[in-house]
Structure 1
Amino acid sequence: MAQQSYLPLANHPVILERMAQILTAIAEHQRLTFDYQTGEIGDPVKKHVAQPETLFFDNAYFYVAMCREHQTKYLLYRLDRIVDITAVHAGDCHRKMNHYSLQDYRKQTYLLAMGDLTTFRFKCRINPQTALDRFPESKMIRQTGDNEVLIEARAYEDGAMLWLLGQGANIEVVSPTSFVPKFRANLVATLEQY
């Protein structure tokens, strides 16, 4: 049944060939020079140099966690957006002490691993367990009303915002102060479209 319901991605590149190249680079601790197309409309293909750490499947796509030169933070690249691998270089054969943690990614991501990793609080007027399930390691801080609790969670802002916005008036973001205006601006922009 699962095979019957599978829909392939439109205009996809040769994923298996690209996957083999990435897996070889991971196993041999190599850096890659590759051309990458972001999902933004009109963005040109850009050249990147990075060392892949891991390849995984999540939310309908394969992702490659890579560390770029002179950076300590890992970036995620969608495998289907890697247009071409143009060069392979000897990489850093020493694993970083803070190597990429897929477990942390799963705990901190809902839908998108985009935006800043943020600890935020929101008033929740739906079943609190529903919200707690969406943000692993989140916690209820206190009851703030008859049918309302304050929840603290940690996630990437853009992915968290998708879920929070989907709850409508049942959710009220209260902190941090930098997150509240972004949330409000998104709601105003949506309202202006209608």
Structure 2
Amino acid sequence: MNAAYRQLYIFQQLLSDHLVEKRPLAARFNVDPRAIQRDLSQLKTFISDQQLPYQLVYSRQRGGYQFVSAQDQVSKQVVLVLVKVLLASRALNQDELHDAVTGLLKLVTVSERAEVQPIIKNEVFHYQPLRHQQPLLKRIWAISQYISRQQPIAIDYRNARNQTQTREILPQALIFSEYYFYVVAYSLKYHANRFFRLDRIFGYRLSTQKIHRSRAERVSDGQLRQYIQYMQPGKLRTIRFEFSGVVEAALDRFPTARIITAASRPGTVLIEADVFDSGAMMWLLSQGQRVKVVGPADFVAQMKASLTATLAQYD
């Protein structure tokens, strides 16, 4: 076998994350170890000339040559976390999940991939996507481009009652919350910001309408996340409630939350938070006896009315 074949074989071994040792290779091809050294030198030159994302290095500890990434590489720990979060979100259909997980695993070496795959194998096998089964990746990218360019679009939208509508909007943010992606957009019809679930947008295109929002009027997705729950806008206000559950759970739920003081009831704390009230109420109601809202007065009244209506269903 000639030198070209040897070099291709060595290159393939290195790409497969194998350790390359001179003497075993020399014995395999029945050549002097110096011939293998020349092959390795030529491979180094080839890698440099082609600007490949590898470096051929000698590992004294392992006693051989191996490829090391010449660019910043995502660690196996990061890939594992990203895959776990992706699986928990249930946001992608089966095909897109497979492509996303495969792509993430390719960011690490073959040996690291072999470590990660057994950890995620069971979850991937039992993955259950959301019922809408819509492909989202291309849609997410396209809407994100409209947002970056501040371009108005017309969308064909199917609402929760399965009614189809066409809306002229200026998309301003794309947010993931509670299993779904939402487009936060200024609606020309309502002259206000509205939330549109991405999987319910079945058509979109550039609009001929001119919609402009000043910098001060635009939505900041980073700030919006601080105040909103379950993508329910409501009214932005400061609420106070006594809480007897795991305090960390309340503080994590409301990023703006702060402990004011120990409350009047034993075993409770008084928490204050700046929130959109509709979504906040949904979470507070889910906490049952662990929560008592104490202000403001009209918000307390809304909580009482909701609880009374709920109890009435059991009469």
- Short-chain TM bin: 0.7 to 0.9
Give 1:80 shift.
0.7
- Whether 1:177 and 2:275 are equivalent positions in the alignment is no
Q: Is the 8 A contact 1:138 1:154 kept in 2?
A: yes
Aligned residue for 1:178, secondary structure, equals helix
Provide the rounded CA distance (Å) in 1 between the counterparts of 2:153 and 2:190.
15
Aligned equivalents of 1:44, 1:139: Cα separation in 2: 42
**Match of 1:77?**
196
AA partner of residue 60 (structure 1)? Y
Q: Which amino acid aligns with 2:164?
A: V
1:1-194 superposed matches below 5 A: 1=120, 2-39=123-160, 42=161, 44-69=163-188, 74-85=193-204, 87-89=206-208, 96-145=215-264, 146-194=266-314
Number of equivalenced pairs: 192
Which amino acid counterpart does residue 109 of structure 1 have in structure 2?
I
Q: CA contact under 8 A between 1:30 and 1:90: conserved in structure 2?
A: no
How many angstroms apart in 2 are the aligned matches of 1:16 and 1:130? 31
The percentage of counterpart residues that share the same residue type is 32
Report SS of the residue matched to 2:300. Answer: helix
Q: Give the number of the structure with larger relative contact order, counting CA–CA contacts within 8 Å between residues 6 or more apart.
A: 1
Instruction: Report deviation, 1:180.
Output: 1.5
Structure with the bigger percentage of strand: 1
Matched to 1:26, the amino acid is I
Secondary structure of the residue aligned to 2:215 is coil
Pick the structure with more helix per residue: 2
Q: Does the Cα contact within 8 Å between 1:13 and 1:83 map onto a contact in 2? A: no
Q: For residues 180 and 34 of structure 1, do their structure 2 counterparts lie closer, same or farther at Cα, with a shift above 3 Å needed?
A: same
Counterpart AA for 2:283 = W
**Unaligned stretches of 5+ residues in structure 2:** 1-119
Residue 108 of structure 1 and its aligned partner are, at CA, apart by 1.1
Contact 1:112-1:158 at 8 Å conserved across structures: no
AA matched with 1:138: A
Deviations 1:42-80 (A, max 9, x none): 463232211112323332111212123498853322111
Instruction: Go from structure 1 to structure 2 and tell me whether the alpha carbon gap of 1:166 and 1:35 turns closer, same or farther (over 3 Å shift).
Output: same
- Root mean square deviation, CA, Å: 2.8
Cα distance in structure 2, aligned partners of 1:131 and 1:156: 15
Is 42-51 or 29-38 further displaced after alignment?
42-51
Segment of structure 1 superposing worse, 144-153 or 1-10: 1-10
Rg larger for: 2
Distance 1:89 1:26, change over 3 A: farther
TM-score (normalised: structure 1): 0.81
Q: TM-score, normalised by structure 2?
A: 0.53
